Chains A and B, each alone.
Chain A
Amino acid sequence: MAVAKTLEAPIEVYRFEPGKDAKPHYDRYTLTVEPHTPVLTALLRIRTELDPSLTLRYSCRSSICGSCAMQINSKSRLACQTPIGPEIEKHGRLVVEPMRNQPVLRDLVVDQASFWKHYDRIEPHLKLDPRHPMPEGKPNPMTPAEVARFYETPRCIACAACYSACPAVEADADFPGPMALAKLYRFVVDPRDQAHQDRLVRIQTDGLWLCLRCHLCTEACPKDVRPSERIRDLKELAIAAQGGTEPGSRHAIGFKENIRERGQLQEMKLVRQSDGVGGMLAQAPQGLRLWRKKPEIAKKPRAIDDLDQLEALYRELDAPPRDDS
């Protein structure tokens, strides 16, 4: 039998007990581990063998319960799913910290109240038409094609790794976070749910358009839910349901119409399309500042060659729904 290769892993763990410690500090431990040893296993060994005061959240150790999300060398990950070897190989050390965007309760445990509050707000349950309740004792079947539309989203284990990784959550308390929006998408495309329109209208003013589409959530997600892609889907559905009612949806529609005219972005015109004349006036001092250095912003760009081809694509694929009756 081959002898497993072991390594001496220097592990730095964030420690903080609010009310007792003036500020956080890092404790350094060295363990002999195998490269495939999960970070969670190492933390539990630290707690058992070296320091029983280390506080962390975990349960299943099998990437199912979603309890052990934390920052591992600055990436939001499940500790049970992240092997130590590649981290040491890449960084020469292992730094373990609590998730971001949620206040620390103690050491690696955070207060998840805001994460769950946003989840509650999307009403994560099927809303049925009271006139057509779920048939008692009978199945309410969906076709495979219907299920395929939200196949990825139910895999979510609500670990909050996406919430921890999200720069919009970090900068704006109004943003619901990737998980809540991905879950909302799941109900919006569920054929049994009867509140699609209402859900889409509400989310337009409830933070949908604060998503930065940076895709950091998609990288952090341990279950490949790809929240950023589901948020994009949600935006398109919201526009289809209601049109451009918010700055975000107006901007997306305005951009689409903007490049239709010349094939290239007309920068100044976009400000007017998104913000209206009032918004444009509000932006005027900044616009003037930019114009002095970059006078092109006020000029119309050249129209691209073969603009008619672009127009034909719009007519084929962006025509308003036709009434053939």
Chain B
Amino acid sequence: MRIAYYPGCVAQESGRELDLATRWVAKALGIELVEFPNFSCCGSGFVDEANLTLNVAINARNLGIAERAGLDVLTVCSTCQGMLTLANHRLEDPAMRARVDPALAKIGVPYRGTVKVKHLLEVLTSDIGLDAVKARVRRPLAGLKVGAFYGCHLLRPGAEAGFDSPEEPHTFEDLLSAIGAEPVMYRGRVMCCGFPILFVKPETANRIAGRQIADAKDHGAHAMATPCPLCHISLDSFQNKAQAVVGRDLDMPVFHLPQLVALAFGATPDEIGLSRHLVPTGPALARVAPSAGASPSA
């Protein structure tokens, strides 16, 4: 399949390992990522708090660029996914259309509203399909218990996001099973990571992250995995702060979703930037049964 690749800011900056892993997985599955160096930031849920109409227009421009190329959009970030999807819905309001359309006309990027925005999780589980994913696995992640952490904007508001249940999703766990890992069910998997207030009230943000990590750990997770690089910042980059606030050692490796898929497909840790994580991923990788899948007859 061909799809417009919308990496988002973090995957091009501090979360580059997410971009590396996405490209690895796309190549392995024959997904052609069409790049648009004129895509802008989605606003990340902050710009729309300052100016909703501007934020809708910014994302309508992004979607208009993809529409002109006749492509749907692939995201690798729950927040980008949410912001682009919400823009699509907010443009259904004629009053919003009336404000945004003239501005888009002035810059020569009209948007009719035909582009579908899909997160990599949806592409893997719906477009590619779990059977095809399973068929590509070279090294099943057997023995690794993983707590999926969805990221709010991928799921909610459910009326707009609409690809999985907003409170009781299952697609990420289905994907984890397909690559041989054992999904761990815990309440925190659909909760917030605290990122939106990391710069507003850090201690509260860290406490929220710490609680979700502790919840995953208490349910037996060896690692967590997230489809959102902002959650990754909260859960991995600031895990030291989170564990100080919740007052216990967490030591929880946190993978980006495509990193785990790439590992199961046979990627090496270097190819997908695992050394860039703040919490070492080695202990989790050591859980994977060594001979599994390497020689099925052995």
A146 to chain B, nearest CB (A): 14
Q: What is the predominant secondary structure among interface residues of chain B facing chain A?
A: helix
**Cα distance A229–B89 when bound, in Å?**
13
A214 to chain B, nearest CB (A): 4
Interface: A171 (CB within 8 A): yes
A289, B278: Cβ atoms under 8 Å? yes
With A171-B207, A310-B58 as given contacts, are A304 and B52 in contact (CB-CB < 8 Å)? no
Q: What is the predominant secondary structure among interface residues of chain A facing chain B?
A: helix
**Cα distance A200–B57 when bound, in Å?**
26
**Cα distance A215–B102 when bound, in Å?**
31
Cβ–Cβ < 8 Å partners of B142 in chain A: none
**Cα distance A168–B158 when bound, in Å?**
19
B200, A247: Cβ atoms under 8 Å? yes
B276, A294: Cβ atoms under 8 Å? yes
With A304-B39, A306-B38, A309-B107 as given contacts, are A228 and B157 in contact (CB-CB < 8 Å)? yes
**Cα distance A170–B238 when bound, in Å?**
20
Interface: B268 (CB within 8 A): no
**Which residue in B16, B103, B196, B238 is a CB contact (below 8 Å) of A213?**
B196
**Cα distance A170–B194 when bound, in Å?**
12
**Which residue in B9, B44, B168 is a CB contact (below 8 Å) of A90?**
B168
Among A210, A216, A246, A302: residue with most chain B CB under 10 A: A216
Number of interface residues of B (CB under 8 A): 66
A317, B157: Cβ atoms under 8 Å? no
B43, A259: Cβ atoms under 8 Å? yes
A75: nearest residue on chain B (CB-CB)?
Answer: B167
**Which residue in B54, B158, B204 is a CB contact (below 8 Å) of A313?**
B54
Cβ–Cβ < 8 Å partners of A168 in chain B: 192, 197, 204, 208
A69 to chain B, nearest CB (A): 15
**Cα distance A297–B49 when bound, in Å?**
24
B108: nearest residue on chain A (CB-CB)?
Answer: A309
Among A210, A212, A236: residue with most chain B CB under 10 A: A212
**Cα distance A253–B50 when bound, in Å?**
6
> Which chain B residues (187-228) contact chain A, with CB distance < 8 Å?
187, 190-192, 194, 196-197, 199-201, 204, 207-208, 211
**Cα distance A318–B241 when bound, in Å?**
36
**Cα distance A247–B205 when bound, in Å?**
13
B40, A212: Cβ atoms under 8 Å? no
Interface: B263 (CB within 8 A): no
Interface: A160 (CB within 8 A): no
Cβ–Cβ < 8 Å partners of A232 in chain B: 48-49, 52
A225 to chain B, nearest CB (A): 12
Pairs A–B under 8 Å by Cβ, sample size 8: A172-B201, A256-B54, A263-B40, A294-B14, A296-B16, A297-B14, A313-B103, A317-B54
List A residues at the B interface (Cβ < 8 Å).
73-75, 90, 167-168, 170-172, 209-216, 218-219, 226, 228-229, 232, 235-236, 239, 246-249, 251-253, 255-256, 259, 263-265, 267, 270-271, 274-275, 286, 289-290, 293-294, 296-297, 299, 301-302, 304-306, 309-310, 312-314, 316-318
